[in-house]
């Protein structure tokens, strides 16, 4: 059996505060703060590493954790460490080099102790890799003055003499994370083209705590990041100093949180997209903040389709946003600005060539948009280039500065290795076969709140509900996997929870990072996560998720076009119950549409009932994706106080054969939508009786009908995809759809017609409010 198809992927890195509401039996007082001495290395360097890849052909010898110094790197700033780093990256028959499109069975952490690592050519990243530096004192990758290569770190290398061919398919370039690194280009002559990160990636990817240092000379040719394609994705807490461009980006969609650019000619250069959300932006002393290629409203001329920017502070920068062409009274790329503080910024929005659209100065832009705006049940578009509806932001969603709250990925930098407990050291096997249910539950019962619980790399098979008490802090290694299977999860009429996050109405800490939750099918009755915990009073954002794959469903078992009951992966992905709060960042709730471990990534037909169901009264922050479930990707029922951005969904490729909800049934106890012969495709988002919901960037896509794409050109792959009932209070900004006749419906009656909003490959409306 192998984990090849990843039938149900739940990317999950859950973070909470440090307040503990319950304790395991091994202690009488909570863990408290970290005890590492200032001179101690980061705990990840010194903790015992006994992680394995359960379905590798030789799991006993395959090495998951790789300290680059063990492969000969010196980190002294003098020795050329390129060969040693690339050896650490590639050893063990890993997936890369252009001969392997994807693989989940050769995961690795490439670890950099503190130091300065001189490199003379690119670090080419292999599939399923985390590059992690010492979080206490991040190491530096120093590009030599004679550096030769596309970028210091290259996530999708171009094949020499390959006529544009690359190692990986950009839209399937999953499983990458880079954390705690400084990339320094300043030894490279300012006139030489140099790139810190070539980041052409897709979902289940992240950049966290990255700094790129570049030349500040006039007319220099350095850039912090180049991204020309992909289907992302999340990045956050990143800083770019100097350069021609801080970042130059083109991708279907991305969420960027807490971006800082200082002293660049252009902070953000937008090449193309279907939708980007920037949440929390700081720009200082640049010539242009956002320089956007616009005006392409056809598939053959795709430019920046949708740019949504919230909570920015821009200082001493002549132009905040500059588009390449004027709108001239019609949609030519959607733009939304919300809570933008300008300090000595003469032009807020302008057009290349000098035309000012919105004057700047020292001022605050509350809510401004450029594009088509709608309200209520009227399908009449109104082109706006001015103030637009300003959503009511509940105070529970905001930080002390009045910005949408954000939480840094927990890394436990101040904690000592002795403050962690390994589940393998306590008897769990993680071999993908042994039933680890009892061993895992015992560790949680004994050590929740007492130690940080470390899931060594591996696949932990469980056959019953795992109860994680409020108070637990959990961290994985290279996306450690909990895989549910067996008779307990076999009945969709009697669904059972795999991971119970806190008891009903509980409060306290619950941190889970770098974990994957999946099923060994069939598991049609599995609810992957029931999220019950609420952050304690005064502990904002104390419940959350980030970054996170395995099943026995392969192409041979579940080829596309087949309807096999053995290929039912889960009943529901995530259930946020009414008493919970949640901060979910970079959370990918995925039902696989192709087999990542076949040579050609073959299409497969695997079935999950539902994506994310939220009944939470809030606060909830959802920054992630939910794809390919049979009934819906997001369902909000009696929900309150939600911030959602960027939400990206795809309708199952097999529909309408079978038609929704098959092979599942609509269940009234879960407030499921009902379906008919005319309403036979999964909803991207379905909202019922909910209030204070803010959607700040979304992409709802329907690419296929039964694996055929003939419907793409006529926008008839799906009739409706995004529904809000008349009882709900929702404000939606920057929403893009693909191949859907109606972009937004009210009470299942189509309102916004896609034909009015051509914006490239996708259609985009700028704002809708009730």
What are 368-379's pLDDT values in tens digits? 999 999 999 999
pLDDT in tens, 521-550: 799 999 999 999 998 877 777 666 666 543
What does the pLDDT read at residue 18? 35
Q: What is the predicted pLDDT for the residue at 719?
A: 98
pLDDT at residue 747 is higher than 50: yes
- With 70 as the cut, is the pLDDT of residue 294 above it? yes
Question: Angle at the Cα of 13 (from 11 to 15), degrees rounded to 5?
Answer: 150
Rounded to an integer, what distance in angstroms lies between the CA atom of residue 37 and that of residue 278? 36
In angstroms, how far is the first alpha carbon of the chain from the final one?
51
pLDDT digits (tens, 9 = 90+) for 628-651: 899 999 999 999 999 999 999 999
pLDDT band at 662 (very low <50, low <70, confident <90, very high): very high
Structure confidence at residue 517 as a pLDDT band (50, 70, 90): very high
Q: Which CATH number fits domain 64-192+213-220: 2.160.20.10, 1.10.645.10, 2.40.110.10, 3.30.1360.40?
A: 2.160.20.10
How confident is the model over 380-423, as pLDDT tens digits?
999 999 999 999 999 999 999 999 999 989 999 999 999 999 99
Q: How confident is the model at residue 20 (pLDDT cuts 50, 70, 90)?
A: very low
Q: What mean pLDDT do residues 461-487 have?
A: 95
Residue 477 above 70 pLDDT? yes
pLDDT band per the 50, 70, 90 thresholds, residue 511: confident
CA separation for the pair 770, 768 (Å, rounded): 7
Percentage with pLDDT > 70 across the chain: 94
- The domain locations on the chain are 64-192+213-220, 406-489+498-553+570-618
The 3-state secondary structure of 541-596 reads CCEEECCCCCCCCCCCCCECCCCCHHHEEEEEEEEECCCCCEEEEEEEEEECCECC
Who's near 227: CB < 8 A, 6+ residues apart?
A: 198, 199, 200, 201, 247, 248, 249, 250, 251
Q: 168-172, 198-202, 324-328: which has the minimum mean pLDDT?
A: 168-172
Strand, coil or helix: what is 274? strand
Mean predicted lDDT score pLDDT of the chain:
93
pLDDT at residue 544, as a whole number = 66
Output the pLDDT for position 728: 98
The stretch 479-506 carries a mean pLDDT of: 96
> For 285-294, what is the mean pLDDT?
98
Of the pLDDT bands very low, low, confident and very high (cuts 50, 70, 90), residue 268 is: very high
For the domain made up of 406-489+498-553+570-618, the CATH class stated in words is mainly beta
Euclidean distance between CA atoms 199 and 238, whole angstroms: 13
User: Which pLDDT value is given to residue 203?
Assistant: 87
- Summarize the confidence of residues 302-316 as an average pLDDT: 98
Degrees, nearest 5: CA angle 586-588-591:
175
Name the one residue in this structure whose structure tokens are 């008779």: 487
- What pLDDT was estimated at residue 562? 75
Confidence of residue 5 (pLDDT cuts 50, 70, 90): very low
165 touches 210 (CB < 8 A): no
- How high is the pLDDT of residue 555? 52
pLDDT at 603: 72
Both tokens of 647, joined, read 């939400």
- State pLDDT tens for residues 232-243: 989 999 999 999
pLDDT value for 600: 65
Buried b (16+ CB within 10 A) or exposed e, 744-762: bbbebebbbbbeebbbbbb
Domain 64-192+213-220 matches domain 406-489+498-553+570-618 at the CATH topology level: yes
Residues 564-614 pLDDT 10s: 888 899 999 999 999 999 989 888 888 776 667 766 666 777 899 999 999
């Amino acid at each position: 059996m192998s984990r090849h198809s990843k039938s149900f992927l739940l990317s999950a890195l859950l973070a909470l505060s440090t307040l503990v509401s319950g304790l395991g039996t091994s202690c009488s007082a909570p863990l408290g703060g970290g005890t590492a001495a200032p001179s101690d290395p980061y705990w990840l360097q010194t903790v015992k590493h006994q992680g394995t890849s359960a379905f590798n052909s030789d799991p006993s010898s395959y090495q998951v954790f790789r300290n680059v110094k063990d492969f000969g790197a010196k980190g002294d700033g003098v020795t050329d460490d390129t060969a040693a780093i690339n050896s650490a990256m590639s050893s063990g028959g890993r997936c890369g080099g252009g001969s392997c499109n994807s693989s989940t069975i050769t995961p690795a952490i490439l670890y950099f102790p503190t130091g300065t690592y001189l490199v003379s050519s690119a670090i080419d990243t292999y599939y399923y890799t985390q590059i992690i530096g010492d979080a206490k004192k991040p190491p530096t990758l120093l590009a030599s003055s004679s550096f030769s290569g596309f970028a210091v770190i290259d996530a999708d290398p171009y094949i020499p003499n390959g006529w544009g061919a690359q190692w990986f398919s950009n839209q399937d370039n999953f499983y990458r994370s880079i954390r705690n690194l400084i990339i320094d280009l300043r030894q490279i002559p300012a006139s030489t083209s140099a790139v810190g990160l070539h980041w052409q990636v897709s979902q289940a990817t992240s950049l966290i705590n990255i700094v790129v240092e570049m030349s500040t000379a006039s007319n220099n040719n350095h850039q912090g990041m180049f991204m020309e394609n992909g289907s992302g994705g999340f990045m956050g807490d990143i800083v770019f100093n100097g350069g021609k461009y801080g970042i130059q980006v083109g991708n279907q969609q991305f969420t960027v949180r807490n971006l800082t650019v200082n002293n660049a000619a252009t902070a953000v250069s937008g090449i193309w997209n279907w939708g980007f959300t920037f949440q929390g932006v700081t720009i200082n002393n640049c010539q242009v903040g956002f320089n956007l290629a616009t005006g392409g409203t056809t598939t053959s001329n795709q430019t920046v389709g949708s740019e949504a920017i919230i909570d920015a502070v821009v200082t001493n920068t002549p132009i905040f946003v500059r588009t390449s062409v004027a709108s001239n009274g019609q949609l030519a790329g959607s733009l939304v600005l919300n809570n933008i503080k300008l300090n000595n910024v003469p032009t807020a929005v302008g057009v290349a060539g000098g035309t000012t659209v919105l004057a700047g100065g020292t001022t605050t832009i509350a809510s401004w948009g450029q594009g088509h705006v709608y309200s209520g049940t009227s399908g009449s578009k109104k082109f706006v280039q001015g103030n637009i509806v300003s959503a009511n932001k509940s105070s529970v969603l905001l930080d002390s500065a009045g910005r949408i709250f954000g939480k840094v990925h927990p890394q436990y930098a101040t904690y000592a290795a002795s403050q962690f407990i390994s589940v393998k050291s306590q008897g769990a096997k993680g071999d993908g076969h042994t039933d680890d249910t009892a061993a895992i539950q015992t560790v949680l019962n004994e050590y929740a709140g007492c130690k940080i619980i470390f899931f060594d790399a591996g696949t932990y098979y469980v056959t019953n509900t795992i109860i994680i008490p409020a108070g637990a802090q959990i961290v994985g290694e290279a996306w450690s996997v909990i895989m549910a299977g067996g008779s307990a999860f076999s009945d969709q009429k009697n669904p059972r929870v795999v991971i119970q996050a806190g008891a009903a109405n509980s409060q306290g800490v619950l941190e889970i990072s770098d974990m994957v939750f999946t099923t060994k099918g069939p598991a049609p009755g599995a609810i992957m996560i029931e999220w019950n915990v609420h952050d304690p009073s005064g502990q904002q954002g104390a419940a959350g998720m980030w970054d996170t794959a395995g099943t026995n469903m392969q192409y041979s078992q579940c080829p596309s076009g087949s309807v096999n009951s053995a290929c039912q992966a889960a009943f529901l992905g995530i259930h946020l119950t009414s008493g919970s709060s949640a901060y979910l960042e970079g959370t990918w709730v995925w039902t696989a549409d192709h087999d990542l471990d076949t040579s050609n990534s073959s299409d497969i037909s695997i079935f999950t009932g539902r994506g994310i169901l939220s009944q939470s009264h809030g606060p909830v922050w959802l920054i992630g994706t939910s794809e390919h479930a049979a009934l819906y990707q997001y369902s909000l029922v009696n929900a309150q106080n939600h911030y959602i951005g960027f939400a990206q969904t795809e309708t199952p490729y097999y529909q309408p054969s079978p038609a929704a909800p098959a092979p599942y049934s609509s269940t009234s106890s879960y407030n499921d939508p009902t379906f008919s012969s005319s309403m036979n495709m999964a909803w991207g988002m379905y909202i019922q009786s909910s209030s204070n919901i803010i959607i700040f960037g979304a992409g709802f896509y329907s690419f296929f009908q039964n694996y055929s794409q003939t419907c793409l050109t006529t926008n008839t792959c799906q009739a409706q995809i995004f529904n809000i009932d008349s009882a709900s209070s929702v404000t939606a900004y920057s929403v893009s759809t693909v191949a859907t006749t109606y972009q937004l419906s009210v009470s299942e009656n189509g309102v916004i017609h896609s034909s009015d909003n051509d914006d490239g490959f996708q259609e985009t409306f700028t704002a809708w409010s009730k």
